[in-house]
Amino acid sequence: MGLDFTIIPGYLDIILLGCLWTIAITAAAALLSFFGGILFAVMALYAPAVIRWPFKVIEFVFMGTPLLLQLFLIYFGLVQIGIDLPAFVAGVIGLGLHFAVYNSELIQTAILSVDKGQMEAARTLGLSRGQALRKVVVPQAVRAVIPPIGNNMIALLKDSALVSVIGVSELTLSAQRAIGATYRPFEFYLLAAAFYYVINLGMEWVQRRIERRISLSR
């Protein structure tokens, strides 16, 4: 028995490919969650009631149910109504919308904290309400919540392992396939954990760079 790390090089290509898929799905879902969070926040605060209340229901569903169930619903459930999404797309949508709802809560709070005089000044300069939101209020709100949104993105990376259940060959599923061929779970799960940690460090570095640039631009 014991540990045997010499078997890893023979399956490293599988693990690296899974790592690339993890980065791809995390990046795509992170972008969707960021811009979706902004859109959801503006809708929740300023949209007419006929739009705002259905969104509130959707928000409650995404916040009150497990992410795994949401992935199953998007990938397996939508097929019954004629929407057959590739596993990667379903994973991006599921992860992106799930975290967009949480980002929306952060951005809503930040928008409400922006001095109301900012909106009034923008309107005085001739901007419409939509232009004032897009060019003045929302940028200030987003700058204020970059750190917690960055934390959500790191949580998204960790939760990306869940898309393995719908067949996306990301890092966790790639490790499981290597384990199925070698029956060496400890070695490959440890390797996968190391890759997750490295990606995590990369995301934290990017977050710090963004925060530094924002602080310098103020």
Q: What is the dihedral of CA 20, 24, 30, 32, to 10 degrees?
A: -170
Split at pLDDT 50, 70, 90, the class of 115 is confident
pLDDT of 99 reads 96
Query: Tell me, what DSSP letter sits at residue 115?
Result: -
pLDDT of 1 reads 63
Distance from first CA to last CA of the chain, Å, rounded?
59
Q: What is the dihedral of CA 197, 203, 208, 209, to 10 degrees?
A: 130
pLDDT of 120 reads 79
Split at pLDDT 50, 70, 90, the class of 217 is low
CA distance 95 to 213: 27
Split at pLDDT 50, 70, 90, the class of 218 is low
Split at pLDDT 50, 70, 90, the class of 128 is confident
Question: Which pLDDT tens digit goes with each residue over 132-158?
Answer: 888 888 988 998 899 999 999 999 999
Question: Which pLDDT tens digit goes with each residue over 166-201?
Answer: 999 899 999 999 999 999 999 999 999 999 999 999
Question: Which pLDDT tens digit goes with each residue over 54-110?
Answer: 888 888 889 999 999 999 999 999 999 999 999 999 999 999 999 999 999 999 999
- 216 pLDDT exceeds 90? no
Residue 105 is encoded by which pair of tokens?
A: 């809560």
CA distance 128 to 122: 8
Closest CA to 103 of 59, 163, 162, 54: 59
Domain ranges across the chain: 10-217
Split at pLDDT 50, 70, 90, the class of 131 is confident
- The CATH homologous superfamily of the domain defined by 10-217: MetI-like (1.10.3720.10)
pLDDT of 13 reads 94
Question: Which pLDDT tens digit goes with each residue over 9-56?
Answer: 999 999 999 999 999 999 999 999 999 999 999 999 988 888 888 888
CA distance 176 to 137: 46
